[in-house]
Chain A
Amino acid sequence: MSIYVDSAKEGYSLLVSGGLDVWSIIATSLRVSLSAVGIALFVGIPAGYWLGTRRSFGRRAGLVLANAGMGLPPVVVGLVVAMTLSRRGPLGSLGLLYSRPAMVAAQVVIAFPLIAAVSAAAVSSVPRELRLQARSLGASALQEAWLTLRECRMGLVAAVAAGFGSIISEVGAVMMVGGNLRGETRVMTTAIVQYSRMGRYGAALALGAVLLGMIVIANIALTGMQTSAERWERG
């Protein structure tokens, strides 16, 4: 038991004393994952809307791809992005490997199918009649889409939660394309791997606690948004 107690004590004192560069690591984590979720939402929700509303063969194929994409192993994403950005790869001249943009790129690839699939599910749960009615009342395609997305915003919140949760706690891809460079591309998950490799369990545990805390806080906020949406609906 003492291994937990000792590590927890050491971790706590490290957090309090600021002996780890915890804050810069947390800031990098947030900056990278929030940018990635933002970009993934920007493309994922329109894709989800298309998949959730169209009735064609392309839709079925797209849904299969998105659902399969949810199981895309992050480490494979990391490998392919790393190879692409490598000096010997097709985009090597950009010199982006082992940088934050590379990490954002990998995380967008991981989060995109998740967000598309979850928002497609949400969108397809909105009755088709509602959209037809809106169109018959003279709504433009854009207005129709806006109405539909508003109708299923709870499901969209779930899409954000799924996307953010999958990338903030992901380690394989960000290690491969970010390189865990101190002060540059070191995020919470890669720092945890490093500290545990070094036998510094206290530091690893402290960062693990912060990561867990952030996921809990994010979910409290998202649940709050969902319940307030519910209340509004019951109105």
Chain B
Amino acid sequence: MKQLLKAPILRRAAGLALVSVLSFSLVACGDSKEETTGGSSDDVAKTEVVLASTTSTQDSGLFDVLEPEFEKAYAQYDIKIVAVGTGEALELGRMKDADVLLVHAKADEETLVQEGYGVERKDVMYNDFVILGPAADPSGVGGSADTPTAMAAIASGKAEFVSRGDNSGTHKKELKLWDAAGITPESDWYAETGQGMGDTLKIASEKQAYTIADRATYLNMMDTLDIEVVFEGAPELFNQYGVIVVTDAANQDGGQAFFDWVTSQEGQAIIADYGVETFGQALFTPNAP
């Protein structure tokens, strides 16, 4: 009886393992098939351009208009957008896993080009950051005369502050603002998500906490959030985006094509229009030289 008892269990376990392995490989097969058949609907052989950008740019929805317009202008290219933190986006450039970068950490971007990983860098557009918090504004951030005062009000800790904490462009900006206010934000009112802008906004809203976000992502998610703008418009909250072509990337020509297009009149006009219809205001201000 004891022998009887063991065998079916083992057989079931083995069967279970087999089923899971099979289903994984099926999924994998499905994926690769899609890759090979999906792109070839046109007769033109398309080459892939990998654009590494940030989650906040993707969350803003800008790529949903940029991508189709670019592919219309350059039918030979199929653009793949990889949205990660600024830190990883720059790393993808260093490792030549991306052909072109669209990020917002100007000092780091210039270093990347100086180190020879990027061919050239240009300003593309800017937007601004806003400080968000619960409507009741328990820490009284709203009445602040300038950004350092606003940061000091948050640091009174009457409500939590939720930080990206992921070394992203937005996180770096936030750290600069704390620094300028002479505050070290290491306290029980300070939470770090290590996640993207959209997730961090949701967490701040759930916790009825303060946070800093780029206006584009905030406007996109406004309807689902229970926090609102409490401080805005100060010069320190300015957010410059740059585009960089990666040196010796797999498809450097494609990267260059996107670089030229997004800084051209055509690309800049699309950026200037984006958001006007949906939000009543443009989310980005184009400023390519």
Q: Encode contact with B along A211-235: 1 for CB under 8 Å, 0 otherwise.
A: 0000000000000000000100110
Q: A191 contacts which chain B residues (CB < 8 A)?
A: 194
B95 within 8 A of A: yes
Provide the bound-state CA to CA distance between A88 and B205, in Å. 11
Q: Which of B1, B13, B192, B206 contacts A97 (CB 8 A)?
A: B206
Q: Is the CB of A194 within 8 A of B203?
A: no
Provide the bound-state CA to CA distance between A53 and B167, in Å. 55
The 3 closest A-B pairs by CB, nearest first: A199-B91, A194-B194, A199-B88
B272 within 8 A of A: no
A109 within 8 A of B: no
Q: What residue in chain A is nearest B199 (Cβ atoms)? A: A179
B193 within 8 A of A: yes
Q: What residue in chain A is nearest B84 (Cβ atoms)? A: A197
Beta-carbon contacts under 8 Å, A164-208 to B: 175, 179-182, 184, 186, 190-191, 194, 196-201
A147 within 8 A of B: no
Chain A interfacial residues counted at CB < 8 A: 37
Q: A198 contacts which chain B residues (CB < 8 A)?
A: 85, 87-88, 166-168
Q: Is the CB of A154 within 8 A of B9?
A: yes
Q: A97 contacts which chain B residues (CB < 8 A)?
A: 206
Q: Which of A127, A155, A199, A230 contacts B87 (CB 8 A)?
A: A199
Given contacts A125-B12, A199-B85, 14 further A-B contacts (CB under 8 A): A87-B205, A97-B206, A98-B207, A125-B4, A152-B5, A175-B195, A179-B195, A179-B203, A181-B193, A186-B194, A194-B166, A197-B55, A197-B87, A197-B166
Q: Is the CB of B9 within 8 A of A155?
A: yes
Provide the bound-state CA to CA distance between A184 and B189, in Å. 13
Beta-carbon contacts under 8 Å, A86-123 to B: 86-88, 97-98, 118, 121-122
**A: which residues have CB within 8 A of B?**
3, 86-88, 97-98, 118, 121-122, 125-127, 130, 151-152, 154-155, 158, 175, 179-182, 184, 186, 190-191, 194, 196-201, 230, 233-234
B165 within 8 A of A: yes
Q: Is the CB of B5 within 8 A of A125?
A: yes
Given A127-B1, A194-B166, A198-B85, A86 and B206 contact (CB-CB distance below 8 Å): yes
Given A197-B166, A198-B166, A182 and B2 contact (CB-CB distance below 8 Å): no
Q: Which of A86, A122, A184 contacts B191 (CB 8 A)?
A: A184
Q: A155 contacts which chain B residues (CB < 8 A)?
A: 9
Q: B207 contacts which chain A residues (CB < 8 A)?
A: 98
Q: Is the CB of A194 within 8 A of B195?
A: yes
Q: Encode contact with A along B184-210: 1 for CB under 8 Å, 0 otherwise.
A: 000000011111100100010111000
Q: Is the CB of A98 within 8 A of B203?
A: yes
Q: B199 contacts which chain A residues (CB < 8 A)?
A: 175, 179
Q: A118 contacts which chain B residues (CB < 8 A)?
A: 13, 16
Provide the bound-state CA to CA distance between A191 and B89, in Å. 18
* Residue of A194, A196, A201 most packed against chain B (CB within 10 A): A194
B226 within 8 A of A: yes
Q: A175 contacts which chain B residues (CB < 8 A)?
A: 195, 199
Given A127-B1, A198-B166, A181 and B88 contact (CB-CB distance below 8 Å): no
Q: Which of A151, A152, A182, A234 contacts B192 (CB 8 A)?
A: A182
Provide the bound-state CA to CA distance between A151 and B6, in Å. 10
Provide the bound-state CA to CA distance between A118 and B8, in Å. 12
Q: B205 contacts which chain A residues (CB < 8 A)?
A: 87
Q: Is the CB of A181 within 8 A of B203?
A: yes
B229 within 8 A of A: no
Q: Encode contact with A along B1-22: 1 for CB under 8 Å, 0 otherwise.
A: 1101110110011001000000
Provide the bound-state CA to CA distance between A125 and B1, in Å. 10
Q: What residue in chain B is nearest A152 (Cβ atoms)? A: B5
- 19 intermolecular pairs with C-beta atoms under 8 Å apart: A3-B95, A118-B13, A121-B8, A126-B5, A127-B4, A127-B5, A151-B5, A155-B9, A175-B195, A179-B199, A181-B191, A182-B194, A184-B191, A191-B194, A194-B195, A198-B88, A199-B85, A199-B87, A230-B6
B90 within 8 A of A: yes
Provide the bound-state CA to CA distance between A5 and B123, in Å. 36
Q: What residue in chain B is nearest A233 (Cβ atoms)? A: B2
Provide the bound-state CA to CA distance between A24 and B120, in Å. 42
Q: A152 contacts which chain B residues (CB < 8 A)?
A: 5, 9
Q: B2 contacts which chain A residues (CB < 8 A)?
A: 233-234
Provide the bound-state CA to CA distance between A9 and B207, in Å. 38
Q: What residue in chain B is nearest A182 (Cβ atoms)? A: B192
Q: A121 contacts which chain B residues (CB < 8 A)?
A: 8-9, 12
Q: B193 contacts which chain A residues (CB < 8 A)?
A: 179-182
